Structure 1
Amino acid sequence: MANTSSASAHWEDTLEEGFGTISAESSQLFTEAPYNFKARAESQVHITTPEELLGAAHAACFSQAMALFLGQKNLVAKSIDTRADVTFDVVDGAPTVAKIHLTNVSNIPGMSEADFAQLAEFTKNNCPVSRALAGVQEITLDAKLA
């Protein structure tokens, strides 16, 4: 089931004054989406950051992984809503993805709070993007049933 997804980035000028574009090559969902370094320090409308894209990937992966793990228990969610807040900071003098906080609210008929808490933690630790981000110092989770 191996599948390779591709994305590309283009950059011009210095880090501080420069700008670039990011494209989702495989899906062609977006092409030449603008990004810059300034947006990493202050929010800018219609300008993305690598951290925002990483957060989108993590939230999407967490939701899909939870659906997979629920299916293994013969359960189906009415809804799984996940948000990822990705913190970019300087750690030991190096720009770093310092923390990712996941927030999840799921509507899963027939699942107890205790079983859900266990499933959510398992999903956080085992979704493919979480595993790929093993170098992030802290990945936290708040999860609740709707």
Structure 2
Amino acid sequence: MSKHHAHAKWQGNLPEGKGEYLLKTSGLKGKLSFSSRFEDNKEASSPEELIAAAHASCFSMALSHGLSQEGFEPDKIETDAEVTLVKAGDSFEISEITLKTTGKVPGVKAEKFQEIANDAKENCPVSKALKAVKIKLEAKLL
């Protein structure tokens, strides 16, 4: 079992306050703000962007592993994750996540790549943790 830690701090009310996060292992720090979360202001990050980073990373690792397990050694896997935050009644919710991945994998056919990518989408630990959210996949073999 492994455990991973992050710290977040918020000061002030939601619309005018400010925050920051710290990833404890790497020391990576970032800022958080209302406008970066709800108004697409690019001055800081958001919890949804951190979820996107986690999901893209986890999926890429799972896809690489799945390909290797099937006898295909990937040269490169790249994944973008888009997390959509929408207003739902009086609150907000993550309505969907779209994973867009490309892979350079010698010897694998497009159909097999798609099959392994779909399995990675369903079974990477972050996807499993986010089962309440619709997860879409666009996978392309280079």
What is the TM-score of this pair, normalised by structure 2? 0.95
In structure 1, the gaps of 5 or more residues are none
Q: Which residue of 1 aligns with 2:5?
A: 6
After TM superposition, what 4+ stretches of structure 1 lie above 3 angstroms from structure 2? none
Q: Which residue of 1 aligns with 2:98?
A: 101
Q: Which residue of 2 aligns with 1:81?
A: 78
Identity in percent: 35
Partners of 1:134 and 1:123 in 2: CA distance: 13
Partners of 1:91 and 1:108 in 2: CA distance: 41
Q: For the structure 1 residues 16 and 46, does the alpha-carbon distance in structure 2 shift closer, same or farther, using more than 3 Å as the test?
A: closer
- The one-letter code matched in structure 2 to 1:77 is P
CA RMSD in angstroms comes to 1.1
In structure 2, the gaps of 5 or more residues are none
Q: 1:45 offset after TM fit, Å? A: 3.1
Contact 1:91 1:98 in 2 (8 A): no
Q: Which residue of 1 aligns with 2:62?
A: 65
**3-state SS, counterpart of residue 114 of structure 1:** helix
What is the TM-score of this pair, normalised by structure 1? 0.92
Q: Which residue of 1 aligns with 2:24?
A: 25
Q: 1:118 offset after TM fit, Å? A: 0.8
**3-state SS, counterpart of residue 64 of structure 2:** helix
The aligned length equals 142
